[in-house]
């Protein structure tokens, strides 16, 4: 199989579609109290400028990973701000992109309190511009009332919106 090296400009354009796409979320999770803790359904909107994409790191065959950063604000059940960094790579066609990132949220979570928590996010942006995404809270990588929060959710992005709407479940260990 021959893989075409994707230019940074192509990735910027495709990732621009991702960051400016609307988000519809379908989430499922554990029942409240199923493990002795209270799981809360949460939803929020994340807003921010386009991604800042760095220089690629490529192997000898031209397969590349593009680093990127992003920051913005969050409103809803999560209220505060976030900073994220990750990497993206293109498929063989150059029209689908896989991303992985860590996002650090600072603010408050409804019913949990204020603090900081880290989320790991994996996503695929498809040729039609839609994105399938899943996220989970990195247990133990927080501070304040969110120091030991846990959680997860899923999302899909559609072209045409400048806000991302997240949904899922978070549990606080108070």
**Residue 90: C-alpha distances to residues 43, 84, 127 (Å):** 29, 20, 11
**Superfamily of 8-171 according to CATH:** SO1590-like (2.40.350.10)
- Residue 2 — very low, low, confident or very high, per pLDDT cuts 50/70/90? very low
Q: What angle do CA 96, 45, 152 make, to 5 degrees?
A: 70
Strands 113-125 and 64-76: unpaired
Distance CA 134, CA 43 (A): 14
Give yes or no for residue 13 having a pLDDT over 70.
no
Closest of 89, 81, 22, 19 to residue 49, by C-alpha: 19
Please tell me which residue, 124 or 7, carries the higher pLDDT value. Answer: 124
Q: Can you tell me the distance from the alpha carbon of 11 to that of 89, in angstroms, rounded to the nearest whole number?
A: 8
Residue 40's nearest CA partner among 51, 49, 53, 31 is 31
List, for residues 77-90, the tens digit of each pLDDT value.
999 999 999 999 99
**Residue 14: DSSP 8-state:** H
Radius of gyration of the chain (CA): 17
């Amino acid at each position: 199989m021959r893989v075409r090296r994707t230019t940074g400009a192509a990735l910027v354009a495709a990732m621009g579609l991702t960051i400016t796409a609307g988000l519809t979320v379908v989430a499922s999770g554990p029942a409240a109290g199923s493990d002795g803790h209270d799981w809360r359904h949460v939803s929020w909107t994340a807003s921010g400028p386009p991604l800042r994409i760095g220089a690629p790191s490529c192997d000898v065959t031209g397969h590349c990973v593009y680093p990127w950063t992003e920051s913005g604000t969050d409103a809803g059940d999560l209220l505060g701000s976030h900073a994220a960094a990750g990497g993206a790579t293109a498929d063989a066609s150059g029209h689908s992109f896989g991303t992985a990132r860590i996002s650090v949220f600072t603010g408050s979570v409804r019913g949990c309190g204020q603090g900081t928590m880290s989320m790991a996010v994996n996503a695929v942006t498809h040729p039609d511009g839609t994105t399938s995404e899943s996220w989970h809270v990195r247990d133990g990588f927080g501070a304040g009332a969110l120091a030991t929060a846990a959680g997860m959710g899923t999302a899909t992005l559609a072209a045409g919106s400048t806000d991302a709407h997240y949904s899922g479940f978070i549990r606080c260990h108070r």
